[in-house]
A and B are shown apart, each in its own frame.
Chain A
Amino acid sequence: MSALSIKNLTKTYANGFLALKGIDLEVDVGGFYSLLGPNGAGKTTAIRIVCSLVEKSAGNIEVFGYNLATHPEEAKMNIGMVPQEVNFNTFDTPLNILVNQAGFYGIKRSIALQRAKKYLGELKLWDKKDDISRNLSGGMKRRLMIARALIHEPELLILDEPTAGVDIEIRRSMWKFLKDTNANGTTIILTTHYLEEAENLCRNIAIIDEGVIIENTRMIDLLKQLKQETFVLSLEDNLKKDSNLNEFSYTLIGGNQLEVLVDEDHSINDLFELLNREKIKVLSLRNKSNRLEELFMRLVHSKNDISKENS
């Protein structure tokens, strides 16, 4: 049994726009799944259909074996959703928002209050429980939506760009929270534009573009597809004119910064051996761009190129 099984999901909006062209997706129980794609690719549409906020045109959805069309109560009971936009009553308090949401899931008030305390505490919002929610910061609002999505303790948590617009400190604390939540057994599906976030958190990845899933694999397998990487090295001293680094393709920037292309025939060890031979001391090393970002761009562009050729 999968946590989420989507088969041939199609969505045509009233204006004729075909947002999803029969996508298939299987999310394993306990998985941490990333759904990536450019703006307008169909990620949010897919998520909103799974969460019963958009009507599907065709296809089948099962959540932990419950068909969303025939057993909506059981399926919905297992899903928690964190939407892209703030969608709680901003005139209400965080405590009321959580307790009301629990009530919509048939959870008694006494239990809802205990859970609200737990999740507001874990997400560092307990001190704000009686504040008017519109006065919360952007990061607090995002965390409140995560707490709200967890109040009925769902088996599947779906987050649509949960860290958009929040600072790095809060983002990292949210990553830790999501990792812990996943470690405790909750299956997580995440859409994000921060590819570093997807790479750090997720074990599986699906890339969706123009309503079609163009890649669906384990993160580790996808990253293996990367044939070459560019590293940026900061050198202790300026590179000497007689240094011979021709084994690698490189660019020198400002005298002491090297951009080196490491292809599939070489390893990073080879690069360091060469640097040692040339007696070049390295102060720091980093990827020029995120690995997943490079793959993502390549996959989306190659698909677009094929489409152009076909047309």
Chain B
Amino acid sequence: MTSQRKIHNVNVNLNLIAFYTIVRKEVIRVLRIWIQTIVPPAITMTLYFVIFGNLIGSRVGTMGGYSYMQFIAPGIIMMSVITNSYGNVVSSFFGAKFGGHIEEMLVSPMSNSAIILGHIAGGVLRGLLVGAMVTIIALSFTKLELKYPLITFSMVFLSSVVFSLAGFINALYARKFDDIAIIPTFVITPLTYLGGVFYSISLLPDFWQYASKFNPILYMVNAFRYGILGTSDIDIRYAYLVVCAFIVILFTLSFILLKRGVGIRD
């Protein structure tokens, strides 16, 4: 084995252990502060099912051939995955910046990719954990079939990656705690509500149907809904294209920002 290949293998092992360390740390953090990470989405999503699904939904009737409760359930699950993936990475990474312990990673020889992927994995795991919990809650309100499991699982995973990356970029730029609340409040929440969680875009006037197609969350929600119910407002192939494009763009941006030390190095 050449010495160069040896160094390469050492670096691969180093980065794998470093990646695993970040993921382990993130999972322990999520479970340690479960009252902040697991309980709030469970309560919020239960209220959505009770108010929108049960009380209002019973008057709405069917949508896309399904009861209103069945129609909104995939969207609510996806909404919880999106917000929790984003929230986990932005709060954890900004917390590390704010507390200074980001320096523990910066002084170490681990690669920038390992730092990004470790935090993304943490965000995805929390998103999926909360998503699974909200699914269990949804099943206590309505019956859900899994028409296309591969589409369902791949879309929830990829969407979670997209928003974990977005959270990472937000955390890099954030200078104070207010900065990590701005994007969720003014961007993610409006896009989620306008992303077809509670309605089919076929109900909208033509202009707003067209405008909705610029909202990436629409593609995620509809592809996920398609995986569970088999109904969607958009072509699933476009959904994969949009989500994968976002992953490539956001990962590249995260990598460049981290390499340049934006928000973390003077």
Where the two chains meet, the residues of A that have a C-beta atom closer than 8 Å to any C-beta of B are: 13-14, 48, 51-55, 72-74, 76-77, 79, 81, 83, 85-90, 96, 100-101, 103-108, 148
The answer on a CB contact under 8 Å between B109 and A73 is yes
> What are 11 A-B residue pairs whose CB atoms fall within 8 Å in the complex?
A52-B265, A53-B266, A54-B266, A73-B14, A83-B103, A85-B100, A88-B100, A89-B99, A103-B18, A105-B109, A106-B15
Pair A104/B18 contact, Cβ less than 8 Å: yes
Picked from A53, A76, A89, A105, the residue with its CB within 8 Å of the CB of B101 is A89
In the complex, the answer to whether A86 meets B100 with C-beta atoms within 8 Å is yes
Question: Shortest beta-carbon distance, B109 to chain A, in Å?
Answer: 4
What 0/1 pattern do residues 112 to 145 of B give for CB contact below 8 A with A?
Answer: 0000000000000000000000000000000000
Q: Which residues of A contact B110 (CB under 8 A)?
A: 104-106
Contact A87 B103, beta carbon cutoff 8 Å:
yes
Contact in complex: A53, B106 (CB < 8 Å): yes
In the complex, the answer to whether A76 meets B107 with C-beta atoms within 8 Å is yes
Q: A53-B265, A73-B11 are in contact. Are A104 and B108 (CB under 8 A)?
A: yes
B25 at the interface (CB under 8 A from A): yes
Interface residues of B (CB under 8 A from A): 7, 10-11, 13-18, 20-22, 24-25, 28, 96, 99-101, 103-111, 261, 265-266
Q: How far is the CB of A181 from chain B (nearest CB, A)?
A: 18
List chain B residues, Cβ under 8 A from A83.
100, 103
CB <8 Å contact, B104 and A87: yes
Contacts of A53 in B (CB 8 A): 103, 106-107, 265-266
Residues of B within 8 A of A14 (CB): 266
The docked-state distance in angstroms from the alpha carbon of A90 to that of B104 is 13
Provide the bound-state CA to CA distance between A106 and B265, in Å.
Answer: 23
**Minimum Cβ distance to chain A for residue B73 (Å):** 36
**Interface SS of chain A: helix, strand, loop or mixed?**
loop
Contacts of B11 in A (CB 8 A): 73
Q: Which applies to chain B's interface (DSSP): helix, strand, loop or mixed?
A: helix
Chain B nearest CB, measured from A264 CB (Å): 45
By the criterion CB–CB under 8 Å, are A88 and B107 in contact? no
In-complex Cβ contact of B104 among A79, A85, A101 (8 A) = A101
Min distance, Cβ A117 to any Cβ of chain B, angstroms: 18
Alpha-carbon distance A100/B265, docked complex (angstroms)? 21
How long is the Cα–Cα vector from A73 to B15 in the complex, in angstroms? 11
Residue on A nearest B111 in the bound complex, by CB: A73
A108 and B14 contact, Cβ closer than 8 Å, known pairs A76-B108, A101-B104: no
Distance in angstroms from B229 CB to nearest chain A CB is: 42
Q: Inside 8 A of A76's CB, which chain B residues have their CB?
A: 107-109
Our pick among A13, A55, A101 for the contact of B108 (Cβ within 8 Å) is A101
Select one of A48, A85, A100, A148 contacting B21, CB under 8 A.
Answer: A100
Given the complex of chains A and B, what is the CA–CA distance between A52 and B22 in angstroms? 20
CA distance A89 to B25 in the complex (A): 11
In the complex, residue of chain B having the shortest beta-carbon distance to the beta carbon of A13: B266
Whether A55 contacts B265 by the Cβ 8 Å rule is yes
User: How far, in whole Å, are A178 and B17 apart by their CA atoms in the complex?
Assistant: 29
Q: Give chain A nearest CB distance to B85 CB in angstroms.
A: 21
Within the assembled complex, what's the spacing in Å between the Cα atoms of A90 and B99? 8
Whether B104 contacts A88 by the Cβ 8 Å rule is: yes
Nearest B residue to A102 by beta-carbon distance?
Answer: B21
Asked if A55 contacts B266 (CB within 8 A), the reply is yes
The distance from the CB of A79 to the nearest CB of chain B, in whole angstroms, is 7
Determine how close the nearest CB of chain A comes to the CB of B98; give it in whole angstroms: 11
Bound-complex Cα distance A148 to B104 (A): 9
CB pair A106 B266 closer than 8 Å: no
Q: Say yes or no: A106 contacts B13, CB within 8 Å.
A: yes
* CB contact under 8 A between A54 and B108, given known A87-B99, A106-B15: no
> In whole Å, how far is A91's beta carbon from the nearest beta carbon of chain B?
8
Residues of B within 8 A of A88 (CB): 100-101, 104
Contact B103 A100 (CB under 8 A): no
In the complex, what distance in Å separates the CA atom of A96 from the CA atom of B28? 11
Given contacts A55-B261, A89-B99, are A104 and B104 in contact (CB under 8 A)? yes
